[in-house]
Amino acid sequence: MNQMKMEHVPGRSLGKVTLFALSTCGWCAKTKELLKELGVDHYYVFVDLLPPEELEEAIREVEKFNPAGSFPTLVINEGTRVIVGFREQEIREALG
Amino acid sequence: MSSEAPLEAEIAARCKKIAREAEEGGYHLNPDHAFTMNLVRGLLINEQRFGYPSCPCRISFGKRDEDLDIICPCDYRDPDLDQFNACYCALYVSDAVLKNEVSVGSIPERRPPRSARKAALSGTSARLTDMALPFPVWRCRVCGYLCARDAPPLVCPVCKATKDRFERFI
């Protein structure tokens, strides 16, 4: 987890918000845009762009919060709240 | 993992081809052109990365035999179209979406988790016991097309899935 490189997007702080996404996925792109629009401080990582040695670790991390291991997975405050998929209403309620 | 990004013209051409094949088989692409083009871009990127167009919305380790179920069109498209009016990525949508009767959204993942997939790979799938048939029957895992011949066709005539997507049915 520590060596996995995450991009930081500064903004309103609502605790630690982490988006696990794929660079090729449409719903991931929409989720990323929504976080930007909401202006919330967050980190994101495109798991498919990680070097192979970090890929397994990243997927395990996702599976910890979302057993399906699917994307996008949005982890709020170390898993206090986890939102899987582009659930626009839920994300707006949690981070709006 | 990186190679040259697909060109816009390449994406547009592929998009056209996928759309034509979809319509021929009775399927439809998402009418949101920008969204669809972006997914096709992802398919082309995955094709460059792995040698096959695996689902842009699912992670791949680049092993074809482990990814057969998520090569686009994936094994989950048809049940997702039936239940949610769109495939997991929303590249393919139902008639109702085209007619503006329903809208598409992010849907739950139907693909079993990794642990379950590993277990399934080691087991054999259930099929009817061999009967006295002159030919074995092969089933396309993507669209359910059946054919009775010595081996599956190179490409499914309905959904264009490749030979290795077929399973022995009877």
Supply the range of the domain harboring residue B138.
125-170
Tens-place pLDDT, residues A19-34: 999 999 999 999 999 9
On whether residue B2 sits in a domain, the answer given is no
**Looking at domain A7-88, which of 3.40.50.300, 3.30.230.10, 3.40.30.10, 1.20.1420.30 is its CATH number?**
3.40.30.10
User: Are residues B56 and A87, on separate chains, in Cβ contact within 8 Å?
Assistant: no
Cα A19 from chain centroid (whole Å): 1
Distance in angstroms (rounded) separating the CA atoms of residues A76 and A15? 7
Residue A6 in 3-state DSSP? coil
Contact residues on chain B for A71, CB-CB shorter than 8 A: 57-59
Least CA distance to B2: which residue of chain A?
Answer: A49
Interface residue B114 vs chain A (CB under 8 A)? yes
- Assign residue B161 the CATH number of its domain: 2.20.28.10
- Say what the pLDDT of residue B124 is: 55
pTM: 0.88
How do B137-140 and B166-168 pair as beta strands?
antiparallel
What tokens were used for B112? 């079993």
- Say what the pLDDT of residue B5 is: 84
Tokens 């996995």 correspond to A4
Q: CB pairs below 8 Å between A and B: how many? A: 68
Provide the terminal-to-terminal Cα distance of chain A, rounded to the nearest Å. 27
Say yes or no to pLDDT of A47 above 80.
yes
Interface residue B70 vs chain A (CB under 8 A)? no
So where are chain A's domains? 7-88
- Say what the pLDDT of residue B1 is: 45
On whether residue B36 sits in a domain, the answer given is yes
Tens-place pLDDT, residues B59-90: 999 999 999 999 999 999 999 999 999 999 99
Average pLDDT score over chain B: 92
* B115/B129 same-domain check: no
Distance in angstroms (rounded) separating the CA atoms of residues B91 and A85? 15
For residues B121 and A10, which has the higher predicted lDDT (pLDDT)? A10
